[in-house]
A and B are shown apart, each in its own frame.
Chain A
Amino acid sequence: MDCERPAEDHGTRQNGGAGEGGEAAGAESEGDRERSREPRVNISLVGGTPLLWRAGDIRRVREEDGVVGALVGSLARQPRQNVRLGRPLEILQEEASLLLERGRAAVQHTHNQEDEESHVKAVEAYQSRLEHSYEEQCVLALEDKKAVLQRVMNAKQNDHTCDEGTEQAMRERLSSLQKGFTLPRSAMAVQLCTARAGFGHCPEEAAFLAADWPMPRDERSETRFRVYRDLRGRGFYLTAAGKFGGDYLVYPGDPLRFHAHFIALCLSMVEQLPLCDVLAVARLGSNVKKTVLLCSPRDSGVEGEVVYSSLQWSGMV
């Protein structure tokens, strides 16, 4: 949070900073300049799929941009189950495009070629951190054991069941513990990092990869992006809807608490949809009790509006 941002980076963020600065001043204790200096969210690309790794990033994009995504990794607490998954968060291509467009995110380089010297320093830093951690844990383990012993002693004293002999024995145990206890190295607790440690905070790195979005923009992804942006702008939460036969599932509130209302299908204005496809998707929608939305952006420029049509099954009796 203390890193200085270079001048050009601050320049590109002007529009975003100015808009957000107003709201931020009241809510946050940090000043406006601090807010616009917030490090950007890191998007990591694996095989063309955008992933978010840091828990902080995932929370920020959900709270501030309404990007929900899907967790696709093993959950740290219980890795051998499929009910609840953990990091990384896989986001839609459209969500990544939106975040980049707004300047809220930057694509992270996968293999940085660091030089020999910095690598050696990194290894030394890692080793020393490990040693420090071990020493601290030894101390903590000793205190823990002493606390346990003390509790037992107090309990026995309160019971008035012990005599001088056992009390003496316990005090001896306490002192021997003090002198001879070592935590075995294999009992040390070690962290297995989920996200890459270190990089991403350094502003030079972030600025370096600014517009590194490798995705091709053909007509279909353009259509999808415009629909996404419009729906998101109206305050809906969107997730992928492949298993419902559509493009997006549209939620009125956070998907954690609310059911989806719509299945959105993105079509260009001139695209012809076979009638049997319309029937299929309408029937699917009525089976899952969601309204089907056919969404098409009007071709009037980049900021054109999007037209929505809903499908409702009506009976003529």
Chain B
Amino acid sequence: MATKQAHAEAARAERSEELLSPSELFHARSRSHKIPVRGQKEFLPTGSEQQKTHLQKSLQEHWTLVAEERVERLGNLVNAEWIPEEKLVKLQSPAGKFWQTMGFSHCGKQCLLPEEALYLMECGNVQVFYQDLPLSIQEGYERFLSPETVTLHQYQVFGHLKRLGYVVNRFDPSTVPSLYERQLNLPLSRDRQNKQLKRKRSHSPGSRSCEKQTSIPQEDTAVGPCEDVLTGEPHQTIQSKKEQDEPMDSGSHVDRAPERNWWTAASSQSRSMTGLPAALPWDFRLISFPDLGSSRAARTCLAAPDPELLPGALQVGECKMASWLTKLNLKEEKLSRRERERQRERDRYKRSVNDDREVRRCTNWAEYLELMKKRRRQRCKERPAHLWEKDVTPLSQPGLCTSHRELLEEVSIIQSSHLLEEASKLPQLDQWRIIFNVYQPDTVADFKKSHPGNPYTRMCVCSFDGPVPDLRVMKQLSFQSADIPVTFAVVDHGDISFYCFKEFKLPSDFY
């Protein structure tokens, strides 16, 4: 019965009539759900009968599978409507199991992104209507996929990963925690996640009215402003200065075979780089930090602050530290016996750095390192004339460096760098962008859309027709992605290959 049905369907599909009759719809429940296994291929076509029958059989199976239409129970289908103005699909009946990993709420309604809706249409879970008529899969592809939403290649990668079981959602650069937040190991706040969901709506003008109704605070809490001040290292501030790149060596017509550059967009020309470390805002030599911890502190007096720093008519005089110090706990520590023993060992064999008078004279790290360097140099004073009196002198001296790594640093002409160095100053790229976050399949059971946690990887989609990502692209994308590795999905005519680039440091120390 099932095969007869299948043959009838295939025959009808041949005549290009793809609508099933009610009896075919009814009997579709008894269709087989198995996919026939493809046998071994042969090497040469010999024209033999056996080959012909084999081929015919394979082809017939193939057409049966290809021509089969999706038939679902009406009760299993979730109804939805396509809203082209917002580029969203709004559900009209309650969502099913897919709600755990897909979709979001907007103005009280459950919504799906276009790629999620299209995937669910292909799985036979959702029926999307537009102007009261159901959309076919073809119309879904044509209407939902566009450069503003998700392109066909990106959708193919999305579908491929979802079919394997991964949880895939859209990447939003604003949800990536900054370097400072990561150093503090701050958990992703709820506001952040809600901001992500809000951001999805902010494309369309029509949704702005909805944002006022929600009770979630729009403004960032303390997390927001702090991160801008303390992002990264304070020395490399965000003041930008334009600085021209060296133009590429495209002018020289050396007789070499040309590089492969069949991609049409010749955007790999010189681009101006922005960003330059500005002058230090603070001069640490002028700022003094009084010593309030030692025994002399009781006698110190803090000078009055500069009246320019004080508000209004406030007048502050000198501050005597004695009274404040009585409030500190200056009781002597009572060490246990073991601790006393340890202290005795330390005193016998180790010498405290602070006993050295010259060290005490240093007021910061830089001076201390200078002192150490000076001492080392004094230790090896003999310098052979044939090495040191000529134009070219050695890069290092014996005894100057204490480890292989230091020696390599002394003699290295090309400084090694790491991938994220100066990556924050790179301008935004328009051709390359991270499009999806991908979460592991085994987390599906406890996956929460509000707290998805860190993704397994982030996906960037490209094709073999386009350029290979260069160092600038990789730096930019790795920086955008924070600690999560970026995977490049290359789509070639339905085949998807995944590549990722890993930073590798050559070892410079030997133990």
Residues of chain A within 8 A (CB-CB) of B160 are: 82
- CB-CB under 8 A from A46, the residues of chain B are 141-142, 145, 152
* Residues in B whose Cβ lies below 8 Å from that of A195: 18, 136-138
Report, as a range, how many residues of chain A touch the other chain: 35 or more
We find that the number of chain B residues with CB closer than 8 angstroms to chain A is: 84
Q: Find chain A residues with CB under 8 A from B164 CB.
A: 82
Pick the residue among B54, B73, B262 that contacts A257 (CB under 8 A): B54
- Inside 8 A of A29's CB, which chain B residues have their CB? none
**Chain A CB within 8 A of B68 CB:** yes
Per-residue CB proximity of A79-107 to B under 8 Å, as 1/0?
11111111110101000000000000000
Chain A, 183-204, CB within 8 A of any chain B CB? 184-197, 201
How far is B15's CA from A201's CA once the two chains are assembled, in angstroms?
11
| A236 to B138 CA separation, bound complex (whole angstroms) | 30
Stretch with Cβ within 8 A of A (4 or more), from B29-37, B107-115, B290-298, B392-400: B29-37
Task: Using CB atoms, name the residue of chain B closest to A1.
Answer: B15
Instruction: Say yes or no: A133-B25 contact (C-beta < 8 A), given A56-B16, A74-B123, A74-B159.
Output: yes
B interface SS class:
mixed
Q: In angstroms, how far is the closest chain A Cβ from the Cβ of B59?
A: 6
Binds B, one of A65-73, A151-159, A160-168, A292-300: A65-73
Given contacts A70-B493, A242-B493, A257-B51, is CB(A136)–CB(B23) below 8 Å?
yes
Within 8 Å CB of B437, what residues of A?
A: none
Partner of B71, one of A58, A126, A187, A191: A191
Q: How far is the CA of A189 from the CA of B119 in the complex (A)?
A: 20
Check if B35 sits within 8 Å of A240, measured CB to CB: no
User: Within the assembled complex, what's the spacing in Å between the Cα atoms of A72 and B257?
Assistant: 37
Which residue of B29, B132, B137 contacts A193 across the interface (Cβ within 8 Å)?
B137
Contacts of A85 in B (CB 8 A): 494
CB pair A188–B73 under 8 Å, yes or no, is: yes
B131 touches A119 (CB 8 A): yes
B245: Cβ under 8 A from any A Cβ: no
A261 to chain B, nearest CB (A): 8
| B19 touches which of A110, A141, A191 (Cβ 8 Å) | A191
7 cross-chain CB contacts under 8 A:
A46-B141, A54-B16, A70-B494, A71-B494, A253-B45, A258-B44, A272-B257
Interface residues of B (CB under 8 A from A): 10, 13-16, 18-20, 22-23, 25-26, 28-29, 31-33, 35, 38, 41-45, 51, 54-55, 58-59, 62-63, 65-75, 77, 119, 121-124, 127, 131-134, 136-139, 141-143, 145-147, 151-153, 156, 159-160, 163-164, 256-258, 260, 262, 264, 464, 490, 492-495, 497
